[in-house]
Structure 1
Amino acid sequence: MSTDKTAQPDLLRLATAGSVDDGKSTLVGRLLYDTKSVLADQIDAVTRASVDRGLATPDLSLLVDGLRAEREQGITIDVAYRYFATPTRTFVLADTPGHVQYTRNTVSGASTAQLVVLLVDARSGVVAQTRRHAAVLALLGVPRLVLAVNKIDLVDHAESVYREIATEFAELTAGLGWDPSAVQSIPVSALHGDNVAVRSSNTPYYDGPTLIEHLESVPVDAEPDTAGLRFPVQYVIRPRTAEHPDYRGYAGQVSVGTARVGDPVVALPSGVRSTIERIDTADGTLDAAQPGRSVTLVLADDIDVSRGDVISSVGDAPAPVREFAATVCWLAERPLRAGARVLVKHGTRTVQAIVDAVESRFDEQALTVTPAPDELGLNDIGLVHLRTAGDLPVDDYRASRRSGSFLLIDPASGNTLSAGLVGDALEAVRTVAAQPA
């Protein structure tokens, strides 16, 4: 009997970002505390630690700054995933660091986010790191933003301060291509809870939702994929037992689209076609498997499919390529120059590649693009041209965030060098910049 357990709860994936000391950890701690997502003994431990520090009220940032190095320095240096829920929605939150040298962690945490809460300190407003984070989030295609103007209590809840910051941020996000309806600004005090879960009487000029109300009510957009099925094969299952002498299945996770029994498919890069005969799981068979579901596909024909291949829908299957343009966020201390040899990891497939050219670099402060730079440095964003040693069935990132993304890896050390997006993600920025003021 076929069983289908693909129904998903109302889930929002979000991330936090912002500069150092903007109060991200305190805000995340406040969200956990106000949604009753922490145990009483955790609150007691935080209260005792806060008293030891001479604080009159619990330091909620201690609920999330779990690493010893973070506790000692009072900063967040890694991406940590937090889980909380309200009666109407479940949340998975990626708490990312604020230091410039950890921009790579922000890229990782925000890469699957449907919404990002970007914090600014009301005393400092929009700073260089704010602009850098907004640019990265725009290039990653994050659908929605919340600007949390934090520490509003430290500027006496001044309306003029909030309005000035919100206006500057609106101009920035418009320049990066966001629709104004996708950006919400909220004045908050994470320390005291103003406009986090409870509307604050200290900001009578603000008539919008609290942060939690907004997170509960914002539409959960589906992945902006226009591509059909993409199923990177992770493992070929051939038990060769007496019970299953001829079984051949392809295990992996549905990356994009939906796998359905009876659908025609094509194996890439070979181009050989077949049909999905069965979808197996540990709990039984399925009629269909949605994105994120780990399954084993059994095809009607015994074709040659290996780890690293992609099982794709037929109508929109990408043509495997050995050369393509890509937008990269360079995450290594060593600069990237033309001629560099790298590994490209796309899905479950890894191939050797050469960076043929560094075509442009994005200035996230001025929102301009510099053509033909000599190199890309740490945290630089730019357009490069890659030439690979093997065929890769890639989609343009604008068609699919999942099948249009990849990593560049150091062949000697195995370290990640860059997060990459297939295609020219800087095109939208150039278009906006070219428009008359």
Structure 2
Amino acid sequence: MNAMTDPAFFSAADKGVLRLITAGSVDDGKSTLIGRLLYDSKGIFADQLDAISRAKYKRTVGDTIDLSLLTDGLEAEREQGITIDVAYRYFSTPVRKFIIADAPGHEQYTRNMVTGASTADVAVILIDATRVVDGQLLTQTKRHSTLAHLLGIRHIVVAVNKMDLVEWSRPVFDRIRDAYAALAAKVGIASFHILPLSALTGDNVVGKSARTPWYEGPALLELLENLEVRTDASAKALRFPIQMVARHGGDRADDFRGYMGQLASGSVRVGDRVQIQPSGVAATVKSLVVYGGHVEEAVAGDSVTIVLNEDVDASRGDVLVHESSPASVTRQFEAELCWLDTQALNPARKYLLKQGTRLTTAKIKSVLSRRDIHELEETDATDAPFAMNDIGRVVLATRDALALDRYQDLPATGAFILIDEATHQTAAAGMVK
């Protein structure tokens, strides 16, 4: 049994589960690094090793295993030698359990990177040491670092890969460290960890390498094992997006009506005074029903049916909050958008907006600015519409009122996506400012 099939892997959150994503440009070595972590931590089976050693798309010489094939499983990925879709892998050490997302580096698949990064605690940004010329980082390194910061990822780890190809040169590493420090200052990244390594040879991946006596920090795995990522979501304000109204016994006077969903944040107890947003109607929690019976309290992450004392009008898309800490209710708000569609933003069109369990229509009222991904500064965006992979600030107006929080405070009610009404493609990922 491996980590993917072991039920204990997902039930041992108290031992610490770290979700991380690898990001960066094409050919920086993201898939190889994950393969190295799996291989050196004994996280793969012998038959898997045998299968990739015989793969026709193997890009290594002789008997050397192409570890990137452990995550690049699609035929098109192996044929082209690039990652296209996000691949998830699971492994554990005696210290911690890991869920790794291998994100594509190609600009065309930035949307896939956003998907994987939206739930990550740590972003490992890979930089190919051979491709940083005169201290100029690649565009995708800048874009992925910006997105990781906007998505609120707590820890940024910069892995300077392929150091073996520059003979483990400390001056090369120092130039890259200084270049990334300048990037972090422009983006707003308060702190980051940086280390030299080689995913191909395994130096500084699982254990410290003798080839970098000048590097005094930990190896990558030791660093990941010791990062503090726990956040007490139950200590935040209550946000309970209603997924469904449960009814039975409707022909009786004592019929059952409860509101089903999962607590996105906060906690709720029997007797609590709550408010249904966006309507603002107040009620009292009568009971909390879970699989197996009734409980007195539910916390963030729990799936529960909330029964109220009062007969109120509440349905899918509404949000239950405590009266003392409501969300902001509005039909117009400012947000940061990452445009993901091949069709450019059209301010004259309506888009579907999905926020939590609420689906409504929205229009872009105005485009405030676009982030120049090369200079990392906000620029005027009135000259051209947002195109694919553009990042910027806009003002949106929605048909229905929404219960919103700032994304930095509560991602569950601060995040949304825009959907093209005609094609049903995801047009943009948004974060409420």
TM-score by length of 2: 0.91
Deviation digits for residues 118-141 of structure 1, max 9, x if unmatched?
Answer: 001110132111111111111112
- What corresponds to 2:269 in structure 1? 260
Matched, 1:104 2:114: no
Distance apart, 1:240 and its partner CA: 2.0
Deviation digits for residues 374-408 of structure 1, max 9, x if unmatched?
Answer: 31111001111111111111112122122101001
Q: In structure 2, what is the Cα distance between the partners aligned to 1:136 and 1:357? A: 22
Quickly say closer, same or farther: Cα 1:27–1:416, change in 2 above 3 A: same
- What corresponds to 1:309 in structure 2? 318
Of residues 57-66 and 298-307 in structure 1, the stretch that sits farther from structure 2 once superposed is 298-307
Deviation digits for residues 46-68 of structure 1, max 9, x if unmatched?
Answer: 22338976533111111111111
Of residues 365-374 and 319-328 in structure 1, the stretch that sits farther from structure 2 once superposed is 365-374
Deviation digits for residues 282-326 of structure 1, max 9, x if unmatched?
Answer: 243333333332222222222211011111122121232111111
Deviation digits for residues 75-102 of structure 1, max 9, x if unmatched?
Answer: 1101122111111111111111000111
User: What are the equivalent positions in structure 2 for 1:400-419 lying under 5 Å apart?
Assistant: 400-419=410-429
Q: In structure 2, what is the Cα distance between the partners aligned to 1:217 and 1:6? A: 17
- What corresponds to 1:131 in structure 2? 142
Matched, 1:153 2:164: yes
Secondary structure of 1:146's match?
strand
User: What are the equivalent positions in structure 2 for 1:372-387 lying under 5 Å apart?
Assistant: 372-373=381-382, 374-387=384-397
Counterpart among 19, 38, 45 of residue 32 in structure 1: 38
**Which letter does structure 2 place at the counterpart of 1:74?**
G
User: Contact 1:239–1:245 at 8 Å: present in 2 too?
Assistant: no
Q: In structure 2, what is the Cα distance between the partners aligned to 1:122 and 1:141? A: 27
Q: In structure 1, what is the Cα distance between the partners aligned to 2:248 and 2:218? A: 56
- What corresponds to 1:94 in structure 2? 101
Distance apart, 1:341 and its partner CA: 1.0
Q: In percent, how many aligned pairs have the same letter?
A: 48
Q: In structure 1, what is the Cα distance between the partners aligned to 2:361 and 2:417? A: 12
Secondary structure of 1:413's match?
coil
**Which letter does structure 2 place at the counterpart of 1:77?**
I
Q: In structure 1, what is the Cα distance between the partners aligned to 2:297 and 2:224? A: 30
Q: In structure 2, what is the Cα distance between the partners aligned to 1:136 and 1:290? A: 29
User: Contact 1:396–1:404 at 8 Å: present in 2 too?
Assistant: yes
Distance apart, 1:243 and its partner CA: 10
User: Contact 1:118–1:147 at 8 Å: present in 2 too?
Assistant: yes
Which residues of structure 2 form unaligned runs of 5+? 1-10
Matched, 1:247 2:253: no
- What corresponds to 1:331 in structure 2? 340
Q: In structure 1, what is the Cα distance between the partners aligned to 2:290 and 2:40? A: 38
- What corresponds to 1:394 in structure 2? 404
Q: In structure 2, what is the Cα distance between the partners aligned to 1:410 and 1:50? A: 39
Secondary structure of 1:393's match?
strand
- What corresponds to 1:173 in structure 2? 184
Q: In structure 2, what is the Cα distance between the partners aligned to 1:339 and 1:193? A: 52
- What corresponds to 1:119 in structure 2? 126
Q: In structure 2, what is the Cα distance between the partners aligned to 1:289 and 1:206? A: 47
**Which letter does structure 2 place at the counterpart of 1:131?**
K
- What corresponds to 2:20 in structure 1? 14
Q: Which of 1 and 2 has higher RCO (CA within 8 Å, sep 6+)?
A: 1
Quickly say closer, same or farther: Cα 1:262–1:30, change in 2 above 3 A: farther
User: Contact 2:57–2:79 at 8 Å: present in 1 too?
Assistant: no
- What corresponds to 1:432 in structure 2? none
Q: In structure 1, what is the Cα distance between the partners aligned to 2:88 and 2:211? A: 31
- What corresponds to 1:431 in structure 2? none
Secondary structure of 2:143's match?
helix
Q: In structure 1, what is the Cα distance between the partners aligned to 2:252 and 2:130? A: 70
Quickly say closer, same or farther: Cα 1:25–1:375, change in 2 above 3 A: same
User: Contact 1:342–1:409 at 8 Å: present in 2 too?
Assistant: yes
- What corresponds to 1:46 in structure 2? 52
User: Contact 1:80–1:95 at 8 Å: present in 2 too?
Assistant: yes
- What corresponds to 1:216 in structure 2? 225
Which residues of structure 1 form unaligned runs of 5+? 424-437
Deviation digits for residues 324-345 of structure 1, max 9, x if unmatched?
Answer: 1111000111111322211111
Quickly say closer, same or farther: Cα 1:409–1:368, change in 2 above 3 A: same
User: Contact 2:57–2:78 at 8 Å: present in 1 too?
Assistant: no
User: What are the equivalent positions in structure 2 for 1:283-302 lying under 5 Å apart?
Assistant: 283-302=292-311
Q: In structure 2, what is the Cα distance between the partners aligned to 1:244 and 1:194? A: 71
User: Contact 2:234–2:299 at 8 Å: present in 1 too?
Assistant: no
Counterpart among 55, 80, 86 of residue 79 in structure 1: 86
Secondary structure of 1:77's match?
coil
Tell me how large the CA RMSD over aligned residues is: 2.2
Of residues 386-395 and 233-242 in structure 1, the stretch that sits farther from structure 2 once superposed is 233-242
**Which letter does structure 2 place at the counterpart of 1:55?**
G
Distance apart, 1:210 and its partner CA: 0.7
User: Contact 1:116–1:142 at 8 Å: present in 2 too?
Assistant: yes
Quickly say closer, same or farther: Cα 1:224–1:363, change in 2 above 3 A: farther
Q: In structure 2, what is the Cα distance between the partners aligned to 1:326 and 1:249? A: 33
- What corresponds to 1:60 in structure 2? 67
Deviation digits for residues 348-373 of structure 1, max 9, x if unmatched?
Answer: 11111111111111112212111242
- What corresponds to 2:363 in structure 1? 354
Q: In structure 2, what is the Cα distance between the partners aligned to 1:27 and 1:204? A: 21
Q: In structure 1, what is the Cα distance between the partners aligned to 2:302 and 2:108? A: 34
Secondary structure of 1:248's match?
strand
Distance apart, 1:241 and its partner CA: 7.3
- What corresponds to 1:430 in structure 2? none
- What corresponds to 1:429 in structure 2? none
